[in-house]
Structure 1
Protein backbone atom coordinates (compact mmCIF):
# COMPACT_ATOMS: atom_id res chain seq x y z
CA UNK A 1 0.00 0.00 0.00
CA UNK A 2 1.33 3.40 -0.98
CA UNK A 3 0.18 6.99 -0.98
CA UNK A 4 -1.57 9.16 1.62
CA UNK A 5 -3.37 6.24 3.31
CA UNK A 6 -0.06 4.47 3.96
CA UNK A 7 1.56 7.61 5.30
CA UNK A 8 -1.46 8.34 7.51
CA UNK A 9 -0.90 5.04 9.34
CA UNK A 10 2.55 6.23 10.35
CA UNK A 11 1.67 9.79 11.29
CA UNK A 12 2.21 10.79 14.93
CA UNK A 13 3.48 7.33 15.89
CA UNK A 14 6.73 5.35 15.57
CA UNK A 15 6.03 1.73 14.68
CA UNK A 16 9.14 -0.24 15.48
CA UNK A 17 10.29 -3.75 16.23
CA UNK A 18 13.79 -2.58 17.07
CA UNK A 19 13.35 -0.75 20.34
CA UNK A 20 12.62 2.45 22.17
CA UNK A 21 13.94 4.56 25.01
CA UNK A 22 11.82 5.42 28.03
CA UNK A 23 13.83 8.10 29.87
CA UNK A 24 13.87 7.62 33.61
CA UNK A 25 12.61 4.05 33.27
CA UNK A 26 14.26 1.69 30.77
CA UNK A 27 15.27 1.09 27.17
CA UNK A 28 14.18 -1.73 24.87
CA UNK A 29 16.69 -3.13 22.37
CA UNK A 30 15.27 -5.67 19.92
CA UNK A 31 12.75 -6.90 22.46
CA UNK A 32 15.19 -7.02 25.37
CA UNK A 33 15.65 -4.68 28.30
CA UNK A 34 18.96 -3.09 27.36
CA UNK A 35 20.14 -2.41 30.91
CA UNK A 36 18.85 -5.61 32.45
CA UNK A 37 19.35 -8.25 29.75
CA UNK A 38 22.21 -7.11 27.51
CA UNK A 39 24.80 -5.48 29.74
CA UNK A 40 26.95 -8.63 29.69
CA UNK A 41 27.64 -8.01 25.99
CA UNK A 42 30.65 -6.08 24.82
CA UNK A 43 30.14 -3.24 22.36
CA UNK A 44 30.93 -5.26 19.23
CA UNK A 45 28.58 -8.07 20.27
CA UNK A 46 25.80 -5.57 20.89
CA UNK A 47 26.37 -3.99 17.47
CA UNK A 48 26.20 -7.42 15.85
CA UNK A 49 22.99 -8.23 17.72
CA UNK A 50 21.47 -4.92 16.70
CA UNK A 51 22.33 -5.55 13.05
CA UNK A 52 21.48 -9.23 12.70
CA UNK A 53 18.86 -9.74 15.42
CA UNK A 54 20.87 -12.76 16.52
CA UNK A 55 23.41 -13.23 19.28
CA UNK A 56 26.45 -13.84 17.10
CA UNK A 57 28.78 -16.55 18.48
CA UNK A 58 31.81 -15.25 20.31
CA UNK A 59 34.16 -17.19 18.02
CA UNK A 60 32.82 -15.39 14.95
CA UNK A 61 33.12 -12.00 16.63
CA UNK A 62 36.66 -12.75 17.75
CA UNK A 63 37.68 -13.67 14.22
CA UNK A 64 36.24 -10.48 12.78
CA UNK A 65 37.69 -8.38 15.59
CA UNK A 66 41.14 -9.76 14.78
CA UNK A 67 40.61 -8.83 11.15
CA UNK A 68 39.68 -5.28 12.27
CA UNK A 69 42.88 -5.00 14.31
CA UNK A 70 45.05 -6.29 11.47
CA UNK A 71 43.54 -3.68 9.10
CA UNK A 72 44.10 -0.68 11.37
CA UNK A 73 47.06 0.98 9.66
CA UNK A 74 47.86 4.46 11.06
CA UNK A 75 49.21 5.60 7.70
CA UNK A 76 48.00 9.01 6.55
CA UNK A 77 48.76 8.13 2.92
CA UNK A 78 45.84 5.68 2.81
CA UNK A 79 42.78 7.15 1.14
CA UNK A 80 40.43 7.35 4.13
CA UNK A 81 43.11 8.06 6.71
CA UNK A 82 44.25 10.95 4.54
CA UNK A 83 40.85 12.58 4.94
CA UNK A 84 41.10 12.30 8.73
CA UNK A 85 44.62 13.73 8.63
CA UNK A 86 43.76 16.58 6.26
CA UNK A 87 40.86 17.48 8.54
CA UNK A 88 43.32 17.55 11.41
CA UNK A 89 45.72 19.85 9.59
CA UNK A 90 42.72 22.11 8.80
CA UNK A 91 41.85 22.10 12.53
CA UNK A 92 38.51 20.36 12.13
CA UNK A 93 37.00 18.68 15.17
CA UNK A 94 37.83 15.00 15.75
CA UNK A 95 34.26 13.82 15.18
CA UNK A 96 33.91 15.65 11.87
CA UNK A 97 37.30 14.38 10.73
CA UNK A 98 36.62 10.75 11.58
CA UNK A 99 33.07 10.90 10.22
CA UNK A 100 34.37 12.16 6.88
CA UNK A 101 37.02 9.44 6.79
CA UNK A 102 34.41 6.83 7.63
CA UNK A 103 32.12 8.13 4.88
CA UNK A 104 34.66 7.58 2.13
CA UNK A 105 35.49 4.15 3.55
CA UNK A 106 32.53 3.00 1.45
CA UNK A 107 34.83 3.18 -1.59
CA UNK A 108 33.96 0.54 -4.18
CA UNK A 109 37.48 -0.71 -4.83
CA UNK A 110 39.21 -0.48 -1.46
CA UNK A 111 36.40 -0.06 1.04
CA UNK A 112 33.14 -1.41 2.26
CA UNK A 113 31.53 -1.64 -1.16
CA UNK A 114 34.16 -4.25 -2.00
CA UNK A 115 33.09 -6.78 0.63
CA UNK A 116 29.41 -6.17 -0.08
CA UNK A 117 29.96 -7.16 -3.72
CA UNK A 118 32.26 -10.06 -2.80
CA UNK A 119 29.73 -11.63 -0.45
CA UNK A 120 26.93 -11.12 -2.97
CA UNK A 121 29.10 -12.76 -5.63
CA UNK A 122 29.79 -15.80 -3.45
CA UNK A 123 26.10 -16.30 -2.74
CA UNK A 124 25.18 -16.02 -6.43
CA UNK A 125 28.04 -18.30 -7.45
CA UNK A 126 26.78 -20.97 -5.06
CA UNK A 127 23.34 -20.70 -6.65
CA UNK A 128 24.84 -21.04 -10.13
CA UNK A 129 26.87 -24.11 -9.13
CA UNK A 130 23.86 -25.71 -7.49
CA UNK A 131 21.97 -25.13 -10.74
CA UNK A 132 24.57 -27.14 -12.65
CA UNK A 133 27.10 -24.59 -13.88
CA UNK A 134 30.81 -25.31 -13.65
CA UNK A 135 32.95 -22.88 -11.72
CA UNK A 136 35.12 -22.14 -14.76
CA UNK A 137 32.14 -21.38 -17.00
CA UNK A 138 30.53 -19.22 -14.33
CA UNK A 139 33.70 -17.19 -13.71
CA UNK A 140 34.50 -16.74 -17.40
CA UNK A 141 30.93 -15.70 -18.13
CA UNK A 142 30.98 -13.21 -15.28
CA UNK A 143 34.21 -11.62 -16.52
CA UNK A 144 33.10 -11.70 -20.15
CA UNK A 145 30.01 -9.67 -19.22
CA UNK A 146 32.15 -6.98 -17.60
CA UNK A 147 32.03 -8.24 -14.03
CA UNK A 148 34.78 -7.21 -11.62
CA UNK A 149 36.09 -9.69 -9.07
CA UNK A 150 35.66 -8.00 -5.72
CA UNK A 151 38.14 -9.36 -3.20
CA UNK A 152 40.59 -10.71 -5.78
CA UNK A 153 43.72 -8.80 -6.70
CA UNK A 154 45.37 -6.07 -4.67
CA UNK A 155 47.06 -2.80 -5.68
CA UNK A 156 50.81 -2.47 -5.01
CA UNK A 157 51.27 -6.02 -3.65
CA UNK A 158 49.81 -9.34 -4.82
CA UNK A 159 50.13 -10.84 -1.35
CA UNK A 160 48.10 -9.86 1.71
CA UNK A 161 50.04 -9.90 4.98
CA UNK A 162 46.83 -10.07 7.03
CA UNK A 163 45.52 -13.33 5.62
CA UNK A 164 47.83 -15.79 7.45
CA UNK A 165 46.93 -14.16 10.78
CA UNK A 166 43.20 -14.46 10.17
CA UNK A 167 43.41 -17.98 8.73
CA UNK A 168 45.50 -19.28 11.62
CA UNK A 169 43.00 -17.92 14.13
CA UNK A 170 40.10 -19.34 12.11
CA UNK A 171 41.69 -22.79 12.33
CA UNK A 172 42.18 -22.41 16.08
CA UNK A 173 38.52 -21.42 16.47
CA UNK A 174 37.24 -24.22 14.24
CA UNK A 175 35.89 -21.81 11.63
CA UNK A 176 38.10 -22.72 8.67
CA UNK A 177 36.07 -25.58 7.17
CA UNK A 178 33.09 -23.73 5.70
CA UNK A 179 31.94 -24.37 2.11
CA UNK A 180 32.16 -20.73 1.05
CA UNK A 181 35.72 -20.45 2.32
CA UNK A 182 36.60 -23.56 0.31
CA UNK A 183 34.94 -22.02 -2.75
CA UNK A 184 36.88 -18.76 -2.28
CA UNK A 185 40.16 -20.68 -2.46
CA UNK A 186 38.91 -22.75 -5.40
CA UNK A 187 38.29 -19.51 -7.28
CA UNK A 188 41.77 -18.33 -6.30
CA UNK A 189 43.32 -21.52 -7.70
CA UNK A 190 41.38 -21.18 -10.94
CA UNK A 191 42.64 -17.64 -11.52
CA UNK A 192 46.18 -18.76 -10.74
CA UNK A 193 45.87 -21.58 -13.29
CA UNK A 194 44.75 -19.13 -15.97
CA UNK A 195 47.61 -16.71 -15.26
CA UNK A 196 45.38 -13.88 -14.08
CA UNK A 197 46.75 -11.56 -11.34
CA UNK A 198 43.58 -12.02 -9.28
CA UNK A 199 44.73 -13.54 -6.04
CA UNK A 200 42.51 -13.85 -3.00
CA UNK A 201 42.83 -10.93 -0.58
CA UNK A 202 41.43 -10.25 2.88
CA UNK A 203 38.18 -8.74 1.58
CA UNK A 204 37.16 -11.94 -0.17
CA UNK A 205 38.44 -14.04 2.71
CA UNK A 206 36.28 -12.19 5.24
CA UNK A 207 33.33 -12.23 2.83
CA UNK A 208 33.63 -16.01 2.55
CA UNK A 209 33.58 -16.29 6.34
CA UNK A 210 30.54 -14.03 6.43
CA UNK A 211 28.76 -16.27 3.93
CA UNK A 212 29.59 -19.32 6.03
CA UNK A 213 28.27 -17.51 9.10
CA UNK A 214 24.96 -16.87 7.34
CA UNK A 215 25.30 -13.08 7.17
CA UNK A 216 23.64 -11.13 4.38
CA UNK A 217 25.63 -8.57 2.35
CA UNK A 218 23.88 -5.71 4.15
CA UNK A 219 24.51 -7.20 7.59
CA UNK A 220 28.16 -7.76 6.75
CA UNK A 221 28.48 -4.28 5.29
CA UNK A 222 27.20 -2.77 8.54
CA UNK A 223 29.36 -5.00 10.73
CA UNK A 224 32.42 -3.85 8.79
CA UNK A 225 31.69 -0.20 9.47
CA UNK A 226 34.43 0.21 12.11
CA UNK A 227 37.11 -1.93 10.46
CA UNK A 228 39.49 0.97 9.69
CA UNK A 229 38.53 3.20 12.59
CA UNK A 230 41.45 2.50 14.95
CA UNK A 231 43.96 3.60 12.32
CA UNK A 232 42.23 6.91 11.67
CA UNK A 233 42.60 8.41 15.14
CA UNK A 234 46.42 8.49 15.17
CA UNK A 235 46.47 10.09 11.70
CA UNK A 236 44.15 12.86 12.84
CA UNK A 237 46.06 13.46 16.08
CA UNK A 238 49.48 13.67 14.46
CA UNK A 239 48.28 16.07 11.77
CA UNK A 240 46.46 18.23 14.33
CA UNK A 241 49.65 18.49 16.41
CA UNK A 242 51.66 19.84 13.47
CA UNK A 243 51.45 23.42 12.14
CA UNK A 244 48.32 24.02 10.02
CA UNK A 245 48.79 22.92 6.43
CA UNK A 246 51.92 20.89 7.16
CA UNK A 247 50.43 17.64 5.89
CA UNK A 248 51.39 16.85 2.28
CA UNK A 249 51.99 20.47 1.16
CA UNK A 250 52.61 20.88 -2.59
CA UNK A 251 54.91 23.52 -4.13
CA UNK A 252 53.39 25.51 -6.97
CA UNK A 253 56.51 24.69 -8.97
CA UNK A 254 55.72 20.99 -8.62
CA UNK A 255 52.33 21.35 -10.31
CA UNK A 256 52.61 20.42 -13.98
CA UNK A 257 49.73 22.03 -15.85
CA UNK A 258 48.67 20.63 -19.24
CA UNK A 259 45.40 22.50 -19.72
CA UNK A 260 44.44 25.53 -21.78
CA UNK A 261 47.24 28.08 -22.15
CA UNK A 262 47.00 31.36 -20.26
CA UNK A 263 44.98 33.98 -22.09
CA UNK A 264 45.50 37.73 -22.22
CA UNK A 265 42.58 39.69 -20.82
CA UNK A 266 42.68 43.32 -22.00
CA UNK A 267 41.59 45.94 -19.49
CA UNK A 268 37.98 47.02 -19.75
Structure 2
Protein backbone atom coordinates (compact mmCIF):
# COMPACT_ATOMS: atom_id res chain seq x y z
CA UNK A 1 0.00 0.00 0.00
CA UNK A 2 1.31 3.45 -0.90
CA UNK A 3 2.42 5.56 2.05
CA UNK A 4 0.18 8.35 0.73
CA UNK A 5 -2.96 6.21 0.91
CA UNK A 6 -5.19 6.40 3.96
CA UNK A 7 -5.73 3.09 5.68
CA UNK A 8 -9.43 2.17 5.45
CA UNK A 9 -11.42 2.11 8.66
CA UNK A 10 -12.39 -1.55 9.19
CA UNK A 11 -13.53 -1.21 12.79
CA UNK A 12 -17.14 -2.08 11.96
CA UNK A 13 -16.13 -5.41 10.42
CA UNK A 14 -13.43 -6.06 13.01
CA UNK A 15 -16.07 -5.91 15.74
CA UNK A 16 -18.07 -8.65 13.99
CA UNK A 17 -15.11 -10.84 13.10
CA UNK A 18 -15.27 -14.50 14.17
CA UNK A 19 -18.50 -14.05 16.09
CA UNK A 20 -22.22 -13.83 15.45
CA UNK A 21 -23.98 -10.94 17.18
CA UNK A 22 -27.77 -10.92 17.51
CA UNK A 23 -30.13 -8.24 18.77
CA UNK A 24 -33.10 -10.63 18.54
CA UNK A 25 -32.20 -13.45 20.90
CA UNK A 26 -30.71 -16.91 20.90
CA UNK A 27 -29.97 -20.02 22.93
CA UNK A 28 -27.99 -19.52 26.11
CA UNK A 29 -26.81 -22.95 27.25
CA UNK A 30 -27.96 -23.69 30.78
CA UNK A 31 -30.17 -20.61 30.87
CA UNK A 32 -32.81 -20.62 28.16
CA UNK A 33 -33.86 -19.66 24.65
CA UNK A 34 -34.80 -16.03 24.18
CA UNK A 35 -36.75 -14.28 21.44
CA UNK A 36 -36.96 -10.48 21.50
CA UNK A 37 -36.65 -10.50 25.28
CA UNK A 38 -39.15 -13.32 25.87
CA UNK A 39 -38.19 -16.68 27.33
CA UNK A 40 -39.51 -18.92 24.56
CA UNK A 41 -40.15 -22.02 26.66
CA UNK A 42 -41.72 -20.20 29.61
CA UNK A 43 -43.43 -17.21 28.00
CA UNK A 44 -44.25 -18.14 24.40
CA UNK A 45 -44.63 -21.90 23.87
CA UNK A 46 -48.21 -22.87 24.63
CA UNK A 47 -49.10 -19.33 25.67
CA UNK A 48 -49.27 -17.42 22.39
CA UNK A 49 -50.19 -18.42 18.84
CA UNK A 50 -47.73 -19.29 16.09
CA UNK A 51 -48.82 -16.21 14.15
CA UNK A 52 -48.08 -14.00 17.15
CA UNK A 53 -44.51 -15.33 17.14
CA UNK A 54 -44.23 -14.82 13.37
CA UNK A 55 -45.24 -11.20 13.87
CA UNK A 56 -42.93 -10.83 16.87
CA UNK A 57 -39.97 -11.99 14.80
CA UNK A 58 -40.93 -9.74 11.88
CA UNK A 59 -41.54 -6.56 13.88
CA UNK A 60 -39.94 -7.00 17.30
CA UNK A 61 -43.36 -6.50 18.91
CA UNK A 62 -45.70 -9.18 20.27
CA UNK A 63 -49.16 -8.31 18.93
CA UNK A 64 -52.44 -8.84 20.72
CA UNK A 65 -54.05 -12.17 19.93
CA UNK A 66 -56.94 -10.74 17.90
CA UNK A 67 -54.51 -8.93 15.57
CA UNK A 68 -52.60 -12.18 14.99
CA UNK A 69 -55.88 -14.03 14.46
CA UNK A 70 -56.81 -11.51 11.77
CA UNK A 71 -53.43 -12.05 10.13
CA UNK A 72 -53.89 -15.81 10.25
CA UNK A 73 -57.27 -15.46 8.55
CA UNK A 74 -55.82 -13.34 5.76
CA UNK A 75 -53.10 -15.95 5.19
CA UNK A 76 -55.87 -18.48 4.60
CA UNK A 77 -57.77 -15.99 2.44
CA UNK A 78 -54.81 -15.35 0.13
CA UNK A 79 -53.38 -18.83 -0.39
CA UNK A 80 -55.55 -21.02 -2.61
CA UNK A 81 -54.87 -24.56 -3.93
CA UNK A 82 -55.22 -23.44 -7.57
CA UNK A 83 -52.36 -24.42 -9.87
CA UNK A 84 -53.23 -21.70 -12.38
CA UNK A 85 -51.88 -19.07 -9.98
CA UNK A 86 -48.22 -18.26 -10.74
CA UNK A 87 -46.66 -19.29 -7.43
CA UNK A 88 -48.80 -22.42 -7.18
CA UNK A 89 -47.91 -23.26 -10.77
CA UNK A 90 -44.28 -23.54 -9.69
CA UNK A 91 -45.24 -25.82 -6.81
CA UNK A 92 -47.16 -28.07 -9.19
CA UNK A 93 -44.20 -28.21 -11.58
CA UNK A 94 -41.99 -29.21 -8.67
CA UNK A 95 -44.38 -32.00 -7.77
CA UNK A 96 -44.64 -33.35 -11.29
CA UNK A 97 -40.83 -33.31 -11.67
CA UNK A 98 -40.35 -35.01 -8.27
CA UNK A 99 -38.50 -32.11 -6.67
CA UNK A 100 -38.64 -31.99 -2.88
CA UNK A 101 -41.56 -30.42 -1.05
CA UNK A 102 -39.26 -27.83 0.52
CA UNK A 103 -37.58 -26.81 -2.74
CA UNK A 104 -40.91 -26.56 -4.57
CA UNK A 105 -42.64 -24.58 -1.84
CA UNK A 106 -39.74 -22.16 -1.40
CA UNK A 107 -39.51 -21.62 -5.17
CA UNK A 108 -43.23 -20.86 -5.28
CA UNK A 109 -42.93 -18.43 -2.39
CA UNK A 110 -40.04 -16.68 -4.12
CA UNK A 111 -42.27 -16.07 -7.15
CA UNK A 112 -44.44 -13.78 -5.03
CA UNK A 113 -41.51 -11.40 -4.52
CA UNK A 114 -42.74 -9.68 -7.65
CA UNK A 115 -43.67 -6.15 -8.63
CA UNK A 116 -46.82 -7.25 -10.46
CA UNK A 117 -48.45 -9.53 -7.91
CA UNK A 118 -47.80 -11.01 -4.50
CA UNK A 119 -46.11 -9.34 -1.55
CA UNK A 120 -44.39 -6.30 -3.05
CA UNK A 121 -47.68 -4.82 -4.35
CA UNK A 122 -49.02 -5.19 -0.81
CA UNK A 123 -46.07 -3.18 0.46
CA UNK A 124 -46.81 -0.54 -2.16
CA UNK A 125 -50.49 -0.58 -1.19
CA UNK A 126 -49.66 0.22 2.43
CA UNK A 127 -47.35 3.01 1.31
CA UNK A 128 -50.08 4.45 -0.93
CA UNK A 129 -52.87 4.58 1.64
CA UNK A 130 -50.53 6.08 4.25
CA UNK A 131 -49.39 8.74 1.77
CA UNK A 132 -53.02 9.37 0.81
CA UNK A 133 -53.90 9.85 4.48
CA UNK A 134 -51.09 12.37 4.82
CA UNK A 135 -52.44 14.21 1.76
CA UNK A 136 -55.96 14.18 3.18
CA UNK A 137 -54.75 15.64 6.47
CA UNK A 138 -52.81 18.21 4.45
CA UNK A 139 -56.04 19.49 2.95
CA UNK A 140 -56.39 17.46 -0.27
CA UNK A 141 -59.84 16.05 -1.04
CA UNK A 142 -60.50 12.38 -1.81
CA UNK A 143 -61.42 13.38 -5.36
CA UNK A 144 -58.10 15.20 -5.78
CA UNK A 145 -56.17 12.24 -4.37
CA UNK A 146 -57.79 9.95 -6.94
CA UNK A 147 -57.29 12.40 -9.82
CA UNK A 148 -53.64 12.97 -8.94
CA UNK A 149 -52.92 9.25 -8.71
CA UNK A 150 -54.69 8.50 -11.99
CA UNK A 151 -52.78 11.27 -13.76
CA UNK A 152 -49.57 9.36 -13.02
CA UNK A 153 -50.93 6.60 -15.29
CA UNK A 154 -52.40 8.54 -18.17
CA UNK A 155 -55.75 9.09 -16.48
CA UNK A 156 -56.33 5.38 -15.88
CA UNK A 157 -57.34 3.98 -12.46
CA UNK A 158 -54.07 2.17 -11.82
CA UNK A 159 -54.02 2.68 -8.06
CA UNK A 160 -52.34 0.03 -5.93
CA UNK A 161 -55.06 -1.74 -3.96
CA UNK A 162 -57.87 -1.03 -6.38
CA UNK A 163 -59.35 -2.80 -9.44
CA UNK A 164 -58.70 -6.37 -10.59
CA UNK A 165 -57.35 -7.53 -13.96
CA UNK A 166 -59.86 -10.37 -14.46
CA UNK A 167 -63.00 -9.93 -12.35
CA UNK A 168 -65.05 -7.09 -10.91
CA UNK A 169 -65.33 -6.89 -7.15
CA UNK A 170 -63.38 -9.00 -4.67
CA UNK A 171 -65.00 -11.71 -2.57
CA UNK A 172 -61.96 -11.74 -0.28
CA UNK A 173 -62.77 -8.25 0.98
CA UNK A 174 -66.19 -9.40 2.15
CA UNK A 175 -64.65 -12.41 3.89
CA UNK A 176 -62.09 -10.31 5.75
CA UNK A 177 -64.65 -7.67 6.68
CA UNK A 178 -66.59 -10.42 8.43
CA UNK A 179 -63.42 -11.62 10.18
CA UNK A 180 -62.72 -8.08 11.40
CA UNK A 181 -66.30 -7.76 12.66
CA UNK A 182 -66.13 -11.08 14.51
CA UNK A 183 -62.85 -10.00 16.13
CA UNK A 184 -64.44 -6.69 17.26
CA UNK A 185 -62.34 -4.39 15.09
CA UNK A 186 -63.82 -1.04 14.14
CA UNK A 187 -63.00 0.89 10.98
CA UNK A 188 -60.05 3.22 11.48
CA UNK A 189 -59.15 6.38 9.59
CA UNK A 190 -57.18 4.61 6.86
CA UNK A 191 -59.97 2.13 6.19
CA UNK A 192 -62.56 4.91 6.06
CA UNK A 193 -60.38 6.71 3.53
CA UNK A 194 -59.99 3.49 1.53
CA UNK A 195 -63.78 3.16 1.34
CA UNK A 196 -64.05 6.80 0.20
CA UNK A 197 -61.49 6.14 -2.56
CA UNK A 198 -63.42 2.99 -3.44
CA UNK A 199 -66.64 5.00 -3.91
CA UNK A 200 -64.84 7.63 -5.99
CA UNK A 201 -63.32 5.01 -8.30
CA UNK A 202 -66.62 3.16 -8.65
CA UNK A 203 -68.33 6.39 -9.68
CA UNK A 204 -65.61 7.37 -12.14
CA UNK A 205 -64.37 4.07 -13.56
CA UNK A 206 -66.60 1.30 -12.20
CA UNK A 207 -63.53 -0.10 -10.45
CA UNK A 208 -63.38 -0.75 -6.72
CA UNK A 209 -61.15 -1.79 -3.87
CA UNK A 210 -59.47 -5.20 -3.95
CA UNK A 211 -58.04 -7.25 -1.08
CA UNK A 212 -54.73 -5.41 -1.30
CA UNK A 213 -56.49 -2.10 -0.71
CA UNK A 214 -58.48 -3.47 2.20
CA UNK A 215 -55.47 -5.13 3.84
CA UNK A 216 -53.29 -2.07 3.35
CA UNK A 217 -55.78 0.24 5.01
CA UNK A 218 -56.67 -2.16 7.82
CA UNK A 219 -53.03 -2.80 8.69
CA UNK A 220 -52.22 0.91 8.52
CA UNK A 221 -54.88 1.41 11.18
CA UNK A 222 -53.03 -1.18 13.28
CA UNK A 223 -49.90 0.99 12.94
CA UNK A 224 -47.82 -1.34 10.76
CA UNK A 225 -45.29 0.12 8.33
CA UNK A 226 -45.05 -1.05 4.69
CA UNK A 227 -41.81 -2.91 5.45
CA UNK A 228 -43.32 -4.65 8.49
CA UNK A 229 -46.28 -5.87 6.44
CA UNK A 230 -43.88 -7.14 3.77
CA UNK A 231 -41.88 -9.07 6.36
CA UNK A 232 -44.90 -10.59 8.11
CA UNK A 233 -46.35 -11.74 4.79
CA UNK A 234 -43.09 -13.16 3.41
CA UNK A 235 -44.45 -16.73 3.28
CA UNK A 236 -48.09 -15.78 2.72
CA UNK A 237 -48.68 -18.23 -0.15
CA UNK A 238 -46.76 -21.23 1.21
CA UNK A 239 -49.85 -23.27 2.09
CA UNK A 240 -51.40 -23.02 -1.38
CA UNK A 241 -48.08 -23.79 -3.07
CA UNK A 242 -47.68 -26.91 -0.93
CA UNK A 243 -51.19 -28.06 -1.81
CA UNK A 244 -50.45 -27.80 -5.53
CA UNK A 245 -47.12 -29.57 -5.05
CA UNK A 246 -48.82 -32.48 -3.28
CA UNK A 247 -51.57 -32.61 -5.91
CA UNK A 248 -49.04 -33.31 -8.66
CA UNK A 249 -46.60 -35.29 -6.53
CA UNK A 250 -49.33 -37.85 -5.91
CA UNK A 251 -49.97 -38.33 -9.65
CA UNK A 252 -47.78 -39.97 -12.31
CA UNK A 253 -44.60 -38.01 -12.95
CA UNK A 254 -44.41 -35.35 -15.67
CA UNK A 255 -48.18 -35.15 -16.21
CA UNK A 256 -48.66 -31.47 -15.30
CA UNK A 257 -49.25 -29.55 -18.54
CA UNK A 258 -47.22 -31.91 -20.77
CA UNK A 259 -46.43 -30.71 -24.31
CA UNK A 260 -46.25 -32.58 -27.60
CA UNK A 261 -43.59 -31.56 -30.10
CA UNK A 262 -46.28 -30.16 -32.40
CA UNK A 263 -47.52 -27.93 -29.58
CA UNK A 264 -44.38 -25.86 -30.16
CA UNK A 265 -44.66 -23.09 -32.75
CA UNK A 266 -41.10 -23.34 -34.05
CA UNK A 267 -40.26 -20.39 -36.29
CA UNK A 268 -36.57 -21.05 -36.86
CA UNK A 269 -34.84 -22.75 -39.78
CA UNK A 270 -36.66 -25.79 -41.23
CA UNK A 271 -35.71 -29.35 -40.32
CA UNK A 272 -32.34 -30.32 -41.74
CA UNK A 273 -30.05 -33.33 -41.62
CA UNK A 274 -27.09 -32.98 -39.29
Using structure 2 for the length normalisation, give the TM-score. 0.88
Matched, 1:86 2:96: no
Give 1:242's aligned residue.
Answer: 251
Structure 2 spans left out of the alignment, 5+ residues: 1-7
Matched, 1:166 2:182: no
Give, in angstroms, the shift of residue 240 of structure 1: 1.1
Contact 1:89 1:243 in 2 (8 A): yes
| 1:65-144 correspondence runs (5 A) | 65-144=72-151
1:15/1:158 Cα in 2 relative to 1: closer, same or farther (>3 Å)?
Answer: same
1:48/1:265 Cα in 2 relative to 1: closer, same or farther (>3 Å)?
Answer: same
More deviation, 85-94/237-246: 237-246
**TM-superposition CA deviations, 1:50-90 (whole Å, max 9, x none):** 22222211111212212222223111111100101101111
Structure 1 spans left out of the alignment, 5+ residues: none
Distance in 1, matches of 2:206 and 2:175, equals 25
**Match of residue 220, structure 2, among 185, 205, 211:** 211
Give 1:60's aligned residue.
Answer: 67
Give, in angstroms, the shift of residue 152 of structure 1: 1.0
Distance in 2, matches of 1:251 and 1:24, equals 62
Give 1:255's aligned residue.
Answer: 264
More deviation, 209-218/52-61: 52-61
**Match of residue 176, structure 1, among 183, 186, 191:** 186
* SS of structure 1 residue aligned to 2:23: coil
Give, in angstroms, the shift of residue 238 of structure 1: 1.7
Distance in 2, matches of 1:10 and 1:182, equals 47
Matched, 1:41 2:51: no
More deviation, 135-144/73-82: 135-144
**Match of residue 187, structure 1, among 185, 192, 197:** 197
1:84/1:12 Cα in 2 relative to 1: closer, same or farther (>3 Å)?
Answer: same
Matched, 1:31 2:37: yes
**Match of residue 220, structure 1, among 215, 229, 237:** 229
* SS of structure 2 residue aligned to 1:28: strand
Give, in angstroms, the shift of residue 36 of structure 1: 1.8
Using structure 1 for the length normalisation, give the TM-score. 0.90
How many residues get paired?
263
RMSD over aligned Cα, in angstroms? 2.1
More deviation, 113-122/150-159: 150-159
